[in-house]
Amino acid sequence: MRTLILAGLAVLSTITLTAQNAEERGLQIAKAADQADQGFNSSIVNLKMTLKNKNGQTSERLLITRTLEQTTDGDKSLIVFNSPKDVKGTSTLTFTHKIGADDQWLFLPSIKRVKRISSNNKSGPFVGSEFAYEDLSSQEVEKYSYKFLEEKGNLLIVEQDPVDPKSGYTRRIVTYNKDKGYRIEKVEFYDRKNSLLKTLTYSDYKLYKGKFWRALTLHMVNHQSNKETVLKFSDYNFEAALADEDFTQVALKRAGQ
């Protein structure tokens, strides 16, 4: 009887140990990916977003994204719309936080108004695309809990569970490439009912400054609505040396004027 209990305890502790190991390893991978991308300081990139509905009809948006790396807190970003022309100049300024709600301001060029907006809406679509706001916001390690799933050659597969209950997902299955600076190759999104909602594939990777991998094509497929969105990045600029002054409400108005 006693041996049985001991054996039982042994089995239990092994399971806990493995579970802990899986969580720790998952976290380690996320941290390694975060680490690999540190030191880019700032970037400016052009983005062409192509939205495709289930009948294959497409529409396009052109944006410019400026990003400023922060070490103690989440990154800052400034996004300006250049097309469609009726929303040209509409811009957002976002200060992401590792913990808690992000700060976000919207600039409306027609009336020159800067409006602080709620960052509560994470799961909603970004400008009618298949990308949710949370898919495009700065990816901070603290925003998920992790579980390492498996290793396939140079690919590491990790489950990420969003910490924020307002997230539209129960989990994301992320494929990292450990030989290429832990860059992400694929993300599968599971909705609140835990069924597969979307798959995001990263391609056309390019190495900048010998250290920073950037995918120039992101392809999101929604399996439930059969709609797709393709993001094409071009003219990455890591040399602009942007500073905090380029991420203020004054800079937001200037970018969208």
Partner 1 sequence: MKIKSIYYIILLLCIGNTIYAQNETAKKVNHDFELELEGEYRYFYDNALFEDQEDHFPSLAIQPEYKAEWNAGYESINFKGFFRLDVDDERTHWDIRELYYQKAKKNWEFNLGLKKVYWGVAESNHLVDIINQTDAVESFDGEEKLGQPMAQFTWITEKFGTFDFFYLPYHRKRTFSGKKGRLRFPVVIDKDDLNYESSAEEWRQDVAIRWKHYFDIFDIGISHFYGTGREPLFIFDTTGNINAFYPVIHQTGLDLQITHDAFLWKLESIYRHADAQDFFAMVAGLEYTFSNIDGNGLDIGVLGEYLYDERDELALNALQNDVFFGSRIAFNDTQDTSILIGGITDLESSTTIFSLEASRRFGNSWTAAIEARIFNEIDDNELILSNFREDSFFRISISKYF
From the CB of 24, what's the least distance to partner 1, in Å?
33
Closer to partner 1 by Cβ: residue 60 or 142: 60
Measured distance CA(40)–CA(209) in Å, rounded: 9
Task: State which amino acid sits at residue 48.
Answer: K
Closer to partner 1 by Cβ: residue 127 or 149: 127
From the CB of 111, what's the least distance to partner 1, in Å?
5
Closer to partner 1 by Cβ: residue 165 or 210: 165
Closer to partner 1 by Cβ: residue 161 or 164: 164
Site for partner 1 in 48-77 (CB under 8 A): 51, 53, 59-60
Site for partner 1 in 72-91 (CB under 8 A): 83-88
Neighbour count for residue 199 (Cβ, 10 Å): 15
Measured distance CA(25)–CA(34) in Å, rounded: 14
CB-based contacts of 59: which residues, under 8 Å, 6+ apart? 50, 51, 84
# binding residues, partner 1 (CB under 8 A): 39
128 near partner 1, judged by CB under 8 A: yes
User: In this structure, are residues 102 and 116 in contact, taking their beta carbons and an 8 Å threshold?
Assistant: no
CA distances from 227 to 126, 197, 201 (A): 14, 11, 14
User: In this structure, are residues 216 and 205 in contact, taking their beta carbons and an 8 Å threshold?
Assistant: yes
Residues in the site for partner 1, rule: CB under 8 A?
Answer: 51, 53, 59-60, 83-88, 101, 103, 111-118, 120-121, 123-125, 127-128, 168, 240, 243-245, 248-251, 254-255, 257
